[in-house]
Structure 1
Amino acid sequence: MLQVTNLNIALDDLILAKDMSFHLKPGKVNVIIGPNGTGKSTLLKTLFGDIQTESGEISFANQTLQRKQLSHWRKQFGYMPQDIRLDVELSALEVVLLGQLDSLGLRLDDSVIKEALSALDKIGLLHLADKQVNKLSGGQCQMILFAQALMRKPKILMLDEPVSALDLHFQHVLLDHLDAQTKEQNWVTIMVLHDLNLAAQYADNLLVLKDGKLVASGHPSDILTPSLVESVYKVKAEVTRDTAGVPFVRTIRKSRSVTTKSISPKEQTMNVKESVYQAS
């Protein structure tokens, strides 16, 4: 279990976490949602050890995050940050193999290569194995980095907006595979998403952040309500449920009054004649 207790994070004068506490169980997909600038990505970076905490404790499997043991702590993670650029002359297969960087030697074992090829195959990109990643689309690179994260065989898998560059098909390919692997491998999976409906479909547990605070947590069907959406995002929304009971969020556009003036057929004719006269 990943345990966070009384976590406080501040960057300059900006408070990004204030007395935040939660615990995440293995085998569950945890999705972090909330407005821009509320500390979602910062929280992932802090769990990974990239950002120093003001106070509080982060622990997993009887180990506490400490700066002096950071490399050992990070070995437990598969981490896919937001907006990574793949401006390198490596093939897709080589990038996936880097997920096993700690155990790679001068000679690659055939079993490791087969595993990397299998990872590409499961996400539908086996045909790109020998293609240079700097010539691929942003969405294809995002999927390849996902396969690399899986190759690390993590105990904790963190993904920051992993579907931001993907079309509808590959959004579900990635998230379906992520969900299946989380439960099969008993990972603690933490993911940042902006799409509330994808979050509702794939989260076993939602963590809702606002102004550096955890304002709600729980299963989407229990906490995703119109009042929560309005409170957190400042927009009105309808929340319905599909046949499986999964919440569906539809935001309501703010009404605007438009004043229209009726024009009689006679006025329309006069306007047309005036336009023709001016044109000539």
Structure 2
Amino acid sequence: MLTANQINIQIGSLSLAKNIDFELKPGQVTAILGPNGTGKSTLLKALFGDIKLESGEFSYGDNSLTHNSLSQWRSQFGYMPQDINLDVNLTAIEVVLLGQLDALSLRVGNETLHKALGILDQIGLSHLANKDVSKLSGGQRQMILFAQALMREPKIMMLDEPVSALDLHYQHVLLEHLVTQTREREYVTIMVLHDLNLAAQYADNLLVLKNGHLVASGHPKAILTSDLVQSIYDVQAQVIEDEHGVPFIRTTRAY
């Protein structure tokens, strides 16, 4: 289980996380929601060790995040950051193989190569294996980085706005594959999303942030209400359920 205990993050005079607590279970997908500038990406960066905590503790099993344990802590993660910078002279398959950088030698074995190609095939991008990543679209690069994160075989999968550059088809390809892999491999998965409907469809749990505070948490069906949408985003919305009982948020214009 991945645990956050009384997390406080302070950058200068700005408080970006205030006494945040949560527990994330293996085999489940958790989505972080909230308006822009409320601390969603900051919380992920702190979890990865890129931002120092003012106070509090992250722990996973018997391990806790400390300055001295940073390398060991990060080895548990498959991390797909928000900022996509792939201005490198590498092919897509080479970028995916970098997911196992610690285990790579000068010669890549057939088993490792077949595994990387298999991941690309599963997400429908095997035809890009030998393409230069610098010439791919933003959405294609985003999918390649997702494949790289899967290649790591992590214990914790962490994704910051993983579908922001994807078209409708690949949004669902990525999220469906993420859910399947999370359940089959018992990942602890946490991601930042802006699309409430995608979060309701694919997440087992939601963490809703506003102004650095965790204001709601739980299953989408339990916490996604018109009142919550109004209070978090200052938007009027109807929340209805589809035939599977999944909440659907329909915003309404003020005519």
**Range class of TM-score, shorter chain:** over 0.9
Aligned to 1:143: 143
Deviation at 1:12, TM superposition (A): 1.1
2: distance between equivalents of 1:228 and 1:70? 36
Matches within 5 A, 1:106-145: 106-145=106-145
Per-residue Cα deviation, 1:38-87 (whole angstroms, up to 9, x for no partner): 00000000000000000001100111110011001100001000021211
1: distance between equivalents of 2:18 and 2:254? 32
Secondary structure of the residue aligned to 2:68 is helix
Aligned to 1:50: 50
Secondary structure of the residue aligned to 2:9 is strand
Secondary structure of the residue aligned to 1:67 is coil
1: distance between equivalents of 2:155 and 2:107? 26
Matches within 5 A, 1:73-222: 73-222=73-222
**TM-score of the aligned structures, taking structure 2 as reference length:** 0.99
Structure 1: gaps spanning 5 or more residues: 256-280
% same residue:
67
Aligned to 1:272: none
Letter in 1 for 2:85: R
1: distance between equivalents of 2:94 and 2:10? 38
2: distance between equivalents of 1:232 and 1:102? 42
Structure 2: gaps spanning 5 or more residues: none
2: distance between equivalents of 1:155 and 1:242? 33
Deviation at 1:35, TM superposition (A): 0.3
2: distance between equivalents of 1:51 and 1:85? 20
Aligned to 1:265: none
1: distance between equivalents of 2:71 and 2:145? 21
1: distance between equivalents of 2:75 and 2:131? 29
Query: Are residue 41 (structure 1) and residue 49 (structure 2) matched?
Result: no
Aligned to 2:28: 28
Matches within 5 A, 1:4-15: 4-15=4-15
Letter in 2 for 1:106: L
Calculate the aligned-residue CA RMSD, in Å: 0.6
1: distance between equivalents of 2:203 and 2:177? 13
Letter in 2 for 1:178: L
Larger Rg: 1
Per-residue Cα deviation, 1:206-260 (whole angstroms, up to 9, x for no partner): 00000101100000000000000001111111001100000000111122xxxxx
Secondary structure of the residue aligned to 1:214 is strand
1: distance between equivalents of 2:213 and 2:232? 11
2: distance between equivalents of 1:86 and 1:49? 22
2: distance between equivalents of 1:116 and 1:187? 19
Aligned to 1:223: 223
Aligned to 1:268: none
